[in-house]
Amino acid sequence: MQAESSFKVACSNCNLRELCLPIGLSTDEMKQLDGMVATRKKVKQGGHLYSSGDPFTTLYAIRTGFFKTCVVSEDGREQVTGFQMAGEIMGLDGIVSDKHNCHAIALEDAEVCVMPFNHVEDLSREIPMLQRHVHKIMSREIVRENGVMMLLANMRAEERLAAFLLNLLQRLHARGYSKSELILRMTREEIGSYLGMKLETVSRTFSKFSEDGIIEVKQKNIRILDHEKLKTIFNSSTC
Amino acid sequence: MQAESSFKVACSNCNLRELCLPIGLSTDEMKQLDGMVATRKKVKQGGHLYSSGDPFTTLYAIRTGFFKTCVVSEDGREQVTGFQMAGEIMGLDGIVSDKHNCHAIALEDAEVCVMPFNHVEDLSREIPMLQRHVHKIMSREIVRENGVMMLLANMRAEERLAAFLLNLLQRLHARGYSKSELILRMTREEIGSYLGMKLETVSRTFSKFSEDGIIEVKQKNIRILDHEKLKTIFNSSTC
DNA sequence: ATGACTTCTTGATGCAAATCAAACGCTGTC
DNA sequence: GACAGCGTTTGATTTGCATCAAGAAGTCAT
């Protein structure tokens, strides 16, 4: 186990590298990158990868599992700021103040690659393509959050949930999963927090979609029956 | 005019450098940085610094003036994603796809420093402190947007507006302005878009604060009468 | 100044989602 | 198998904000 783990800490033969890393690296550069991941770390379901206020030293790339990130306001309200899956990078929020700004909690047993940020920066200075890649990852997160702002400020419950499902489906599809089926790793309450609505409203909206023949809901298992209709709900909603 | 302008394109004697740049640079590094700003650019009130879809090539640092950034959904809904003032960096949204993801519109006559992104990256590789600075700026934007998500998903109209005012005051204060007075450069509608509420609600909430003796509103001029109460509204609002 | 236009304020009404409440269905434990 | 505990569904009611509407105040061009 230990042996296997240390053997495999190498980006060059990781099957997620096209998600985590820039494409088109030379063999030499790839070899350099293998040093970027210091170790791996397992997190049990419900466990914290990091907590708000923890000192920031490393970024994490998800190998397996599913996470949520959430911020907690002074008066204790929790806001889920995102859900993360394999190949995605966590911890960027910590760079600005050398402290993590949110909690990262595993929604299922997970394993992450630990990438000391100093090391990422050192390598970035040597490999311009990596530098650009890091910038893109951060920019992508900014753009994603712009989209969430639009969703929270402008959309109605049905649109939000449609957008949420379509986004999950698209990301899962990019990882080889079906476009018409998914398993929710989070509770209705967590979905609601992310989408700015109460768990009851999430549940009701699922039921509504189900009655309308758009999806089939069996607890956490969702089957998409009418992908187009879902898109229509997401877009066509000026009213 | 032209002469003065080319003379002044130098970060080393810019009075905003402690807002834009890392602190503690050596004289040599500072000299290198002077090359980062290619030119200056003026934008008239109402003008676009860049538009959604424009090719991304440069970042901008605001020298004078005030901007909003907004995204527009497919069905034409506009969402203000932020307000930017002197010393702040714009354009980070464009890095991920080499295209700008939002519009940047001047809310008053403005001048920006044009910083070609390739150039920023080149210099970042040579000056680690600049590299770290760029990362911090992007991380700060991610954290800011986390806060906006919390605001939009969890807070009520009064809390949102209080948070908005406190944030503006704090940023203006850091630029030497009064903590108890400010001039809004944006309309009620733009505030509403940013805060996820309608302009009528913004207006009513201003009136409410005014009746309660918390602020004094004269069109775009706001005077803060009770800073503490504003903070209380922002925090203490679980209900 | 005059009129046209934009922005802002205030009132009346309606509605989507929150809240309150209760029951149902999983999951795991003893 | 029974029981506890959590997550989910569904119904009844309330409410905060949106919407609709009209007028006031400020801005700009002629």
Check if residue A141 sits with its Cβ under 7 angstroms from strand D. Answer: no
Is B189's Cβ below 8 Å from some Cβ in A?
A: no
Tokens 């951060």 correspond to what residue?
A: A138
Distance from residue A196's CA to nucleotide C15's C1', rounded to whole Å: 18
Which range, of A167-171, B3-7, B77-81, averages the lowest pLDDT? Answer: B3-7
Residue B14, pLDDT score: 87
Please list, residue by residue across B197-206, b when 16 or more beta carbons sit within 10 angstroms of its beta carbon and e when fewer do: beeebbeebb
pLDDT grade, residue B66 (50/70/90)?
very high
Is B237's Cβ below 8 Å from some Cβ in A?
A: yes
Better-predicted residue by pLDDT, A97 or A236: A97
| Structure tokens given for A142 | 């900014």
Residue B5, pLDDT score: 45
What confidence tens digit (pLDDT) does each residue in A213-232 have?
999 999 899 999 999 999 99
What confidence tens digit (pLDDT) does each residue in A170-209 have?
999 999 999 999 999 999 999 999 999 999 999 999 999 9
Q: Kindly determine whether residue A125 and residue B121, on different chains, have CB atoms separated by under 8 Å.
A: no
pLDDT exceeds 70 at position A155: yes
In angstroms, the Cα distances linking B141 to A141, A142, B115, B222 are 10, 7, 18, 26
Of the candidates B186, B197, B185, the one whose C-alpha atom is nearest the C-alpha of residue B161 is B197
Distance from residue B166's CA to nucleotide D3's C1', rounded to whole Å: 52
What confidence tens digit (pLDDT) does each residue in B113-142 have?
999 999 999 999 999 999 999 999 999 999
Residue A7, pLDDT score: 56
- Taking CA atoms, what residue in A is nearest to B135? A95
Q: Kindly determine whether residue A141 and residue B146, on different chains, have CB atoms separated by under 8 Å.
A: no
pLDDT exceeds 50 at position B79: yes
Residue B76, pLDDT score: 82
pLDDT grade, residue B236 (50/70/90)?
low
- For the entire predicted model, the pTM comes to 0.94
Strand residue runs (E) in chain B: 39-43, 48-50, 58-64, 66-72, 78-85, 89-90, 103-106, 110-116, 181-183, 215-218, 221-224
pLDDT exceeds 50 at position B83: yes
pLDDT exceeds 50 at position A2: no
> Which residues 203-232 of A are in CB contact (within 8 Å) with B?
none
Q: Helix A128-154 and helix A188-195: axis angle, to 10°?
A: 90
pLDDT exceeds 60 at position A130: yes
Residue B7, pLDDT score: 55
Rounded CA separation B55/B100 (Å): 6
3-state secondary structure of A166: helix
Q: How many CB atoms lie within 10 A of CB B209?
A: 24
Longest pairwise C-alpha distance within chain A: 59
pLDDT grade, residue B77 (50/70/90)?
confident
Report the number of secondary-structure helices (H) and strands (E) in chain A: 9, 11
Q: Kindly determine whether residue A138 and residue B102, on different chains, have CB atoms separated by under 8 Å.
A: no
What confidence tens digit (pLDDT) does each residue in A37-81 have?
889 999 999 999 999 999 999 999 999 999 999 999 888 889 999
Q: What's the whole-number average pLDDT of chain A?
A: 92
Q: Is A92 buried (19+), middle (13-18) or exposed (0-12) by CB count in 10 A?
A: buried
Q: How many CB atoms lie within 10 A of CB A76?
A: 7
Distance from residue B201's CA to nucleotide D10's C1', rounded to whole Å: 32
Task: Name the β-bridge partners of A41.
Answer: A112
Rounded CA separation B70/B194 (Å): 9
